[in-house]
Structure 1
Amino acid sequence: MSFNKLLEEQLKKYLPDAALLEQPAFKRFLEAVNESYESYERDRMLSGDAVSITASEQRMRLALQTIEDNVWEYDFEQRKMVFAQVNNSVLKLRRLEYVDKENEEWWREIYEEDLHIAVDTFRKYKQGLISKHSVEYRMHCADGSIKWILNRGGVIKRDSEGQVLKVVGAITDIDALKNIQAELRTTANRLSNLLASLQSGVLVEDEARRIVMANQQFCSLLSIPAPPEALIGLDCSQTVDQSKHLFKNPELFLNRVAEILEDRQPVTGEELEMADGRILERSYIPVFLDNEHKGHLWKYNDITKRKQSETIIRLQEEKYRNIIANMNLGLTEVDLEERILYANQSFCEMSGYSLDELMNKVAPTLFMGKGNEHFTREKLQLRAQGISDAYELAVRNKKGQLKWWLVSGAPRYNDANELVGSIGIHLDITSHKQLELALMEARQAAEESAHAKETFLANMSHEIRTPISAILGMSRQLGETSLDQEQSLFLDNINKASEHLLVIINDILDISKIEAGMLQLENIDFRPAELVEQAITLMTLRAQEKGLLLSMKMEAGPWPVIMGDPFRLKQVLLNLLSNSIKFTEKGGVHITFNTMSWRGNQLTAVITVADTGIGMDEATLKNIFQNFTQGDKTTARKYGGTGLGMAISKQLVEMMGGTIQLQSKPGAGTSVVLRIPFDIGKEKNIPVKEKQIIDSSILKDCRVLLAEDNEINRLIACRILEKHGLVVTAVNNGQEALNAMAKQPFDVVLMDMQMPVMDGLEATAFIRANISRDIPVIALTANAIKGENEKCIQAGMNDYISKPFEPSTLISTIAHLVGKQLK
């Protein structure tokens, strides 16, 4: 056996860690020692022992100098630590020998916090507790650095009593190893914490299928009662066999594991059905190092909730797809370039295309043709902002037919919440659109009809009221002449007949205006007591003529001012009082005015008109509010009238927000009850009528231009004006009026609204633009349609008078305007 082998055997006995012999430095050291020994043997045989020993020592020293570890020897008797002279030693020692009574100088080379390790090791040698050692601690180097070292050694000499005399060893630099170990520990801790916190179950096997690592989630998923640490080193094949009963199909599970291990190919997202109903997702990764198989990594996830959610979502999606399909709604999905990715059967039927024909086609181009880039860009911008909208779209189907779709578009996102396109729900509204267009045409026709009706009413009002105005005017003029008793009787009947005809015409115009939506209510402040008294006053004479008692009663206490339309309310009261007087032969008519309820700033007035007249049966009551309806033919013949009064009253009351009810029996009279809400008004807001006093001196020699195409009305107006000292120039139309004004000045112009050649509006507009902006122009109109006065004012007229007019009204209006001009 070589010296090297003998030395190695001896070192194995004393070194604490046999692995030290495998270190490169020790390998080189042993080789150098062996070479020195062989050289020593040669020298001894050639030159003698003394020379050989000296050469051997030198070679030994050279061998020690070739290694990087610090080799040392400690002598317990001399308390001396000796290091071999090493040029490239791991420690840059300040000295090679340390001699001290208590080794204090050597201890100072050791890092303070680790000093106890070295002291304790030497103490154990002295006490005979150990024969070799291997410890790690830090030391100070000559360059000021601190290094981790591995100090290993053993006893090489004892005395006769077995006490340790010498210990030899070596110091190895493990500073880099310690840093690596620290990093490995940090990495291991991170991996351990990561595996522990993972929601996935992780299992790592080596190439022999022994468990290297597992986490708690893996144990929980596979119902393993032991902690993960207890699995390390176990045969995984046995663990798999013990867990197979957890799976719905155990044999399939085992066979699949064997198949995966044999193929050694990555597997991801494989789903496993468990016996308890859970669903696990398994992934497998084979581990290779330098193309050499080193083991397997298995990952398990419980995806039960996810699968349940996916199932619910799928069922809901199918449900809503079916709902959409059953509702004949077309569903499409498009990408960011409007290319069709999906379309349901309903959409295919709507468009006339098959699914294959639609896929990857640009939807706007397919159905709307080119030139719609702006529309497409606008919708894409809305989707990019997360905005959904609905819009109507005119499209062409496969046959080229024009269709209308109602489209509801919404942005479509992927799982990463990134916009990937749009979803569209389409409803074919072609028939509705056609109906809408038809309705628009019908509406236009209705508006044209309403306009025609308005024009007709205006013309009828003018054409009928003009002759009535002439009749009443001539009757008044005739009444101012000397008449005998019989002539006065005839004239009185003419006046009554004319006034009755005027009432009928007014009723017809009112009901027509209501039906045409042209009648508007005022909303002004008024005193209700005054209104009722005015109605009673107007009807008292008619009641007295029939010998009837007309009475009224208002609720006690001061009545507040209320807001509404007093003129239309008076019209309703006059209609009701007129009817009651007309159909009552004896007894009387009684009107009461009470309040039913107060709510905040509003009250409900209850007005009752009761009579002792002929009454009505149930059949008549049902139809009493219909236009042109009366009790029976005998009623119309005996009492006259148009049958419009009650219909007008009902519609006016309902326009005020109120109700009207009738109670009646044949021969027992009739009671009409009105319930109308009114807002509370203010005394200061009641309109005050200006008292106009006619000053004859103002009107004397006043030059009046009268434009009137009706000869009788022209004659009547001239006589009224001339009686008050006015100088009148009469013409037939607006053009003649302009011609007259060009020849001479006038103080006031009376302008009929409807005349041939040029009407009053055109003539007035010309006057204001070309002749005078100041001369008073008064409209004379037989048109009682709402809005006629606005037309007059807009044309530049100062005021208007409706025909037939009272002479006093005409004179006072002229005096009022002329008086303003003279100031």
Structure 2
Amino acid sequence: MKPDSPLSSLTGLQTLLEIALDAVVVMDTQGKVVEFNPAAETLFGYTRAEILGQPLAETLVPHDLRDAHKAGLKRYLATGEAHVLGKRIEISALKRDGSLIDIELAIDRLPGETLYFMAYIRDITERKRSARALETSENRLATLVANLYAGVLLEDENRKVALTNQKFCDLFQVPVAPEQLIGQDCSQSGEQSKELFATPEQFVTRVGEILAAQEPVREEELRLADGRILERDYLPIFYEANYRGHLWVYRDITERKQTEKALQKEKELMAALSMASQQFLDNADLEGTFGGLLKSLLSLTKSDYGFLGEVLYTLDGKPYVKTHAITSVAWNDATQALSDTYTGSFEFRNLEAIFGEVLTTEKPVIANDPTNDPRCGSLPPNHPPLEHFLGLPVFRGTELVGIAGIANRPGGYDEATIAYLQPFLSACANIISAYRDDAARAEAVRMLSEANHFVSRINDTAPMLIYLYDLNQRRDLYANRSIAEMLNYSPETRASFVGRELASLMHPEDRRMLQREFRRLRSSTLDETLEFECRLQAASGAWRWYHSRYTVFQRNHHGRPDQILGAAVDVTERKEAEEALQSLTSELQRSNKALQEFASIASHDLKEPLRKIQAFGGRLKSKEAQNLSTDGQDYLARMLSAAERMQVLIDDLLAYSRVTSKAQPFVAVNLNNIAYDVVSDLEARVLQSGGRVRLEPLPELEADPLQMRQLLQNLIGNALKFARPGVAPEVVVWAESAGKPGFTKIFVSDNGIGFAPEYTERIFEVFERLHGHGTYEGTGMGLAISRRIVERHGGTIQATSTPGEGALFTIEIPLFQKGAGA
């Protein structure tokens, strides 16, 4: 004990303080430090001289504990109540540098009259840190084990459960929480849980083997009775060469194995499709390619039978299947011989069969009970049994192009099989489409070759000039053989046309006009067709007329014409005919003018003496008839009758000539109104004959209204006039569609005397009569005028009849006229 220490009177205490390994601090009742041994100096960083006399609360006690320290000291001094004396506690302490340390603290009173408190202090900072690290590690391990995807079981050397997790309990259907298994004996767990496995005894035996060998086991597969697949790891635990237990790890790999199996199937499918595609690309053999695909399809689906076919259509649009690959389903010697010798494709046309359901619905068909499935129909006698069937449509876009059919897969077929085979069906569709495209391309090449040959033959044999002209080079690039032949040039001369302007054969006046048009066309971006007539010089030197037509054949990148294609036909005869027609037209116009002049003369000069004959004859009859003999009166009556007929003839002749010379413009005409007016005008004759005229709806058309009135009056009037004796006339007027656009048919029928078929044309001639003047009135001009009216309107009129059975007049006339209203 040092001389300055208030504890120097305590014998042996100084020696104890000096040799103590733990820090020792002595405090008086005022809370001040009165002793501080070397171990304390080392622990807290204070020297003895620095801390003696200093308040303990202000030096070694952390800030958050100082109030409690002071309150405890005060309470003890006042009441003697002590909470920490004689106890070992763990608490924090403050070092000189301000850092905190963890300490283990024991406080006792020193013996003697003066009250002192002595504290034994041990630094437990590292121990606490290690404890916290161990606790953290254990917590992490527990959390890790609890959240592992795998089931974990840790057994000690006596096969007692040391650690497990919920996943382990779930995998093996253990109905308690993992914590309740700690300490449980696992020596009989194999026997207890063996029924969960597909091979129970093998499971138990294998566990014994693993435990006996005490060698690590990795990724060992176990199959459970419910179909799950587990993967097991075993790890023996040794400490200082002593066996201390083992760790079991179980993982459910059912989904992984299923995925691996599916991937393997996909790999096999892709390999089959790749091989088939390559085979098709190598030789485009549809049967060979589909034969390989069918083998792969049967292997992939574990089916016994199958076919692959293309969907085609009959002329009436019914679908059927043409097979390109099919397995043999021969069930006797005859069908086997047929199968062995048949090298073509089978055709399935029976839509009532099971595959017909695929054709008609364009949807997959699953039949896992064909015997009781009404869609399957019946099989031939001794045919191999059909246990399961799957029919699959093969689409290219939305078009059904093929069918795949497979049968007798163990366990049948389902939607998963259909989904799995979609890439296969797409490959089949692509191969069928490629085959069709190749066939179509080959056919197109053949047709193009034939078309080129055909066009070449047409070009060389067509009775027209055909040429290709380059606007920039101003020369012909092509000229057909007909150029030389039609202009009588030699074949050698024809070859010389190519490379120079065909316009060199053209008449100078026509050539200048053509060159102007070519200059205009060269700067145009419009699609134009140029037509003109020109003269070309033949080998004889004669000029022949040609009607030419040009169109743009090729444009440059600016859209301007580069080349034009032209064709020309020889119209020399037409031009000569037009000239002759023009001459004839002029002559006809002169003739029409003369006819009009004649009509004018007839209407005045012929009628004037006729009127005098009628006037003087009338006077003679009224004033001198009694002075005439019987013969004289007869002669007078005949003269007046002849004069009257002459008057009618002149009027009818004038009417006939005026159909074209005095015609009215075409306007919209309602034939119903005109027909009613005509019947009204003929009412007296209808009543006199006791007959009837029935009018059915008639169309509206563009016509000359006065001539339409005259036409219907002539036809209806004739129908009433030529009635059979004793039979009331029945006249019907109606209309129907003509069967061609823009035309209508008008019919007038009667029940009159009729006429012989040989007169069907004669009755339309001028002044033609089939009966004498005494039998029926008239001049024979009515039907001739009717025909001329119909023809002026661009129509036709025909008559059909049988003697005694009436007649039918049929008029076919346009509904619309060119230049109507003019």
Taking structure 1 as the reference length, the TM-score comes to: 0.35
Taking structure 2 as the reference length, the TM-score comes to: 0.35
